[in-house]
Chains A and B, each alone.
Chain A
Amino acid sequence: MLKAANPERPDLLTWVLLGLGLALLPVGLYLALSAPPDVNQGYLVRIMYLHVPGAWLGYLAFFVTFLYSLLYLFRQDPRHDRVAMASAEIGLVFMGLALVTGMLWARPTWGVYWTWEPRLTTTAILFAVYVGYFLLRGAIEDPELRRKAAAAVGVLGFINVPISYMSVKWWRSLHQTQSIDLTTGRIQMAPEMLQALLFNLLVFTLLYLAFVRFRGFLAALEARKEEA
């Protein structure tokens, strides 16, 4: 991702992505707010336009961290570690957004802020894993050990996702009487809604790419200061 080992300022691609993302953000918001309300949920469904892209990008971000952690373990290139770290940080932001919007949406819909629904629970676990990732990074002074330990957590934490998901899903399925009817979460997508959702997904993706590149650039600057 980061081509130059010693950048002086963020490169053109980063600025383009950032500019495009920020410029399209209001468009996305407009589309979201002008899309028709849902048959069942009314205007509440509009949280979805933030929640779904947030969750998607969160998972993508952590997957990228997983990939670059693996790459670092094989290649020992500090650049890979910087990408992994940047992606994890941005991932936490998006994932946090998804969790909060999810909770805000859950209260009026299901009556509770939280439920042990498999995807929600797995998301919360993944969030905790990467909070741990940063706490660990903060605890290690030696730069090389820090990179290695973080990479290990990046790998161990992500391979946990499918196993955690399965375990929570089976765990929940045992409760025949569910106090929360998850079908009230279903929505029928009008074309304008799908359009708005996909557009916001695009905007979030652009912003993700831009933020990760930017954060990676900052990390390179930090590393250079440390080396001096």
Chain B
Amino acid sequence: MLLRLAGVSKRFGRDWVLRDLDFALERGEVVALLGPNGSGKTTLLRLMAGLLKPTRGRVEREGKALLLPNPPAFHRRLTAREHLLYDLAFHGQGGDWAWALGRFALPSDLPLAAFSSGMRKRLALARLLLLFPDLWLLDEPETALDAEGRGLLLEVLKEARGKAGVVLATHDRGLAEKVADRALFLGEA
């Protein structure tokens, strides 16, 4: 059991964003998280990552979780190479950043401020691939990606499925149908 939520509810101030959620994820599963804007997808992903604590209920997690937010978060004044090197070091891992950058067709020595949003998305995917967590939490990863980028996304997801678990919040039904084993719907009951 890679991830388990039991009776999870979350409120902000007086608003209940999530109510009584039960969910389980095994290694090798890809689950699509669907729902309209404002239905709490991002909140749920953050809860799964452990960045938020539930107001009620329990979240159990095995191994390392990483979150790919939308839009991705980077330090603009670093280059891709520097960023990946620091990230690897903070996680105490080694990894072939050069290969990763090559695979995603990204320049290694350009400040990230000069990256387009599509490039930033690809860098975020490269980062995830290098760090390879046990639990991949992706918030609308398809946004800003062109056709080639989407191809890369699909490849990455296939690789992740092999050894980890994936929760994928998305508006893209097509993508969900292509990669996900099942779906979780958020919104008005």
Contacts and interface: CB of A to CB of B under 8 A. Distances in A.
Please say whether the chains A and B touch (CB closer than 8 A): yes
Contacts of A142: 12
Interface string B39-65: 000000000000001000000000000
Contacts of A141: 12-13
B53 A144 contact: yes
Interface of B: 12-13, 53
B10 to A, nearest CB: 11
Interface of A: 141-142, 144
Q: Which 4 A-B pairs have the closest CB atoms?
A: A141-B13, A144-B53, A142-B12, A141-B12
A175 B187 CA distance: 70
Q: Is the interface of B mostly helix, strand, loop or mixed?
A: loop
A142 B12 CA distance: 7
Nearest to B53: A144
Nearest to B56: A227
A142 B53 CA distance: 11
4 contacts: A141-B12, A141-B13, A142-B12, A144-B53
A142 B15 CA distance: 12
B50 to A, nearest CB: 14
A144 B52 CA distance: 11
Contacts of B13: 141
A142 B46 CA distance: 15
B52 to A, nearest CB: 9
Contacts of A144: 53
A141 B12 CA distance: 8
A212 to B, nearest CB: 28
Contacts of B12: 141-142
